[in-house]
Amino acid sequence: MPSTTTTPRRPGKIDRVASALRQEIVLGRRQAGEQLPTQQELARKHRISEPSARVVLDRLAREGLVLRSPGRGSFVKEFVEQRPPATFTIDFIRPVEDPGQRRRQGLLAQMDAFARICAERGRRAIWHHRLLADLHHPDQFMNDLAGAHVVVVLSAPIEFSRALHRRGIAVVSVLPPPTSTNQPLREPFPIFDYNRPALVVGALEHLMRLGYGRIAFAGRQRTPDRMDAFLECLHRHNLHVSTEWVRASQVDDSSDLRPWLKQLLASDPRPQAICCVTDYVAACVERFLLDMGVRVPQDIAIATADSGPDAQEAPVPITTFGADYLEAAHLVVEAAEQLRPPLNPVAAPLLDPILLPLHLTIRESCGAKSAAAKVGLAAMNT
């Protein structure tokens, strides 16, 4: 099917400045009690008039994010507990494995996309980062979620979204981890997902269309379904790969792929290209190769599933196949706006998952000579 992108309206200067400050607050980049720039400082930084800067701060104050104190300035409020009834509020729950872990670029870009779309549509986004283990006890979230119009659950086990639904909360599940059966989920609440193996297949088939026949795979231990998709796709195209050319990283920084890459470079013949499971893994692979003196794409080409910013910001920008973050955020927020708490959670009808549109974004890692080009599914299948 062709992919269709919905473009949000273009915001004015006041909207853009308010959105930037709003994102800094809701994403935790400014802490409760922190003083914000003055009207004069905002005007100089963003090249707007001082009356416009005052409108920005007044708007954030009406939303309950900022406390304005005459003679002292503007300060970030403890906004999680402030929920103006007139503001449609979307609570986002995002699990983390370690409270001190570094937030990768992909997560920050995903959060920024939701914050931007919520701001442009006049919706209030509140973020809750919880340990994965805490999601087994949904009752402890009830006080935090009191007053939320709808809850969007990102990349958390589907059982947690089910528990919220049973408690009468309007919930949307986005990119839940695969279940043990790998069967499509049908739930009484919206699920936005993509066919995860299709991401790898899309990146792999692009490499094959370019004429690469010897292709290795850099995966992750926790995503065996994508490795299986890689091998099945090669089999369908009558291509074979040595078991030594397929490796799943077991560590968070993918550093265990470095010795594997050295083995690949020493093999005869060696791979012409490497297909990666995520943009972060692809960026690590490229960095390791460049450190070894390997040129990308002249010596080895790279393409990856997923479309996060790690691929775009790599020294040699990497070709990706995945969902566009802003487009996905727009679709999810638009659906969330239509939801209401279930009156009878047990009797609610089951819904098919909503598949996010996927795009191939061609960059220099596969030999592209010009700026990145985005290709929809319809164009790819021709």
Reported as a single tens digit per residue, the pLDDT across 244-298 is 899 988 887 788 999 999 999 999 889 999 999 999 999 999 999 999 999 999 9
Per-residue DSSP letter, 131 = E
DSSP string, 23-42: HHHHTTSS-TTPBPPPHHHH
The pTM of the full predicted model, rounded to 2 decimals, is: 0.71
Domains of the chain: residue spans and CATH: 13-81 (1.10.10.10), 89-194+325-351 (3.40.50.2300), 197-322+359-380 (3.40.50.2300)
Q: How many Cβ atoms sit within 10 Å of the Cβ of residue 122?
A: 10
Reported as a single tens digit per residue, the pLDDT across 125-136 is 888 887 877 788
Q: For residue 281, which of 252, 259, 239, 316 has the smallest C-alpha distance?
A: 252
Does 376 have pLDDT greater than 50? no
- pLDDT for 20 equals 77
What is the mean pLDDT of the segment spanning 330-342?
Answer: 89
> Given pLDDT bands bounded at 50, 70 and 90, which one contains residue 183?
low
> Given pLDDT bands bounded at 50, 70 and 90, which one contains residue 200?
very high
Burial of 371 (0-12, 13-18, 19+ CB in 10 A): exposed
Mean pLDDT (the chain, rounded): 82
- pLDDT for 283 equals 93
- pLDDT for 253 equals 77
Token digits of residue 162: 């089910």
